[in-house]
Amino acid sequence: MCYISFNNVTKNFGNNTVLNSINLEIKKGQLVTLLGPSGCGKSTLLRCLAGLEQVSDGTIFIDNKNVTNLAPNKRNIGMVFQQYSLFPNMTVAQNIAFGLKMQKKSKEEINKQVQYALELVELGGKQNYYPSSLSGGQQQRVALARSIVTKPKVLLLDEPLSAIDAKLRRSLQYCIREIHEEMDLTTIFVTHDQDEAMIMSDVIQLFNAGKIEQSGSPVNVYTSPVSIFAASFIGNYNQINGTEFSQLTGMAVQENYTIVIRPETITLTKNKPDFSDNCYILHGTVLGNTPRGNVLRYKVQVNDTIFRVDALFRSFHMFENNSEIFLSIPKHDCLAIANN
């Protein structure tokens, strides 16, 4: 069932069109990520939904109610920004309770809901601390608790983790996902980080220049890019000119198409593997490698073409620079995409 609906939503800033006739439906209880580079319109769409920006054209519905021209405080939306925006002169509990006081809840109800929110964000025992005595990650947890304690219809998160270190960021990603499920929220998360989108999302909406480039589950968007932009932004695909790929493999490629291949689908071996109808076998030379956590990314030259290949980082099984090796590329992982 559609819970949030954007219908031909356009947003202009002067002569600059930031959102270009966006049509998007979000189901109740979904966690949807708006993913894309800076300036693509994802945060602007979030702000339009929250009522912090007025749309230039189109309509927005929440739970079958037209909220296009509704004041922000009438939309029952919780929002967490990159900046924590906590009240420095209030304790953690007072910051979290602020929205409930505005709703004129009883003291007993406020205390109950504040304690519940503190437990959800794993800040039990911190209620009397001031923001200045908390770490950045703890402050963001307070901001999250403040946004959910009023039980909003929709939770909006605008790159809330981008200023937090990698280890804590991963912890908070799981925390947000658990809170989303615990409270059965409809959540929209904005990020430019593809890994974060893969971890967090039920659905990814990939934005490009004010439009939605591709929609789908994380697996679908990752494995089946619909455009060169999508392949460039998600998955670090190798992109090889169709004519060039035909010369390497004999594969017939339509004119004006590019072949895209994920680095982790390619296998490297020292010895030439047995012939297979399912793979292209190419001979190449290792130019170098780059450690990427538990993955080692090789740079391999085949004739005049450079391939990036990801392999598990195992020190006892590494290929030295200038080694001659063989690449096995599954045919079904060679995707042909029309050039833009």
To the nearest whole percent, how much of the chain has pLDDT over 90? 82
Which comes out higher in pLDDT, residue 22 or 275? 22
pLDDT at 156 over 90: yes
For residue 47, what pLDDT is reported?
Answer: 96
Give the mean pLDDT of 22-31: 97
Give the mean pLDDT of 111-129: 93
Can you list the positions of beta strands (E) in the chain?
2-13, 16-27, 31-35, 57-62, 65-66, 77-80, 154-158, 186-191, 203-208, 211-216, 238-241, 257-261, 267-269, 279-292, 295-302, 305-312, 324-330, 335-338
For residue 316, what pLDDT is reported?
Answer: 66
pLDDT at 57 over 90: yes
Look over the chain and give the mean of its residue pLDDT values, rounded to a whole number: 93
CB-side exposure of 320: number of CA atoms within 13 Å?
A: 2
For residue 320, what pLDDT is reported?
Answer: 93
Looking at the chain, the number of H-run helices and the number of E-run strands are 9, 18
Place of tokens 């912890």: 171
Give the mean pLDDT of 180-195: 94
- Number of neighbouring beta carbons within 10 Å of residue 195: 12
To the nearest whole percent, how much of the chain has pLDDT over 70? 99
pLDDT at 151 over 70: yes
N-terminal to C-terminal alpha carbon distance within the chain: 34
Lowest mean pLDDT among 137-141, 198-202, 306-310: 137-141
pLDDT band at 276 (very low <50, low <70, confident <90, very high): confident
Q: Provide the 8-state DSSP code for 201.
A: -
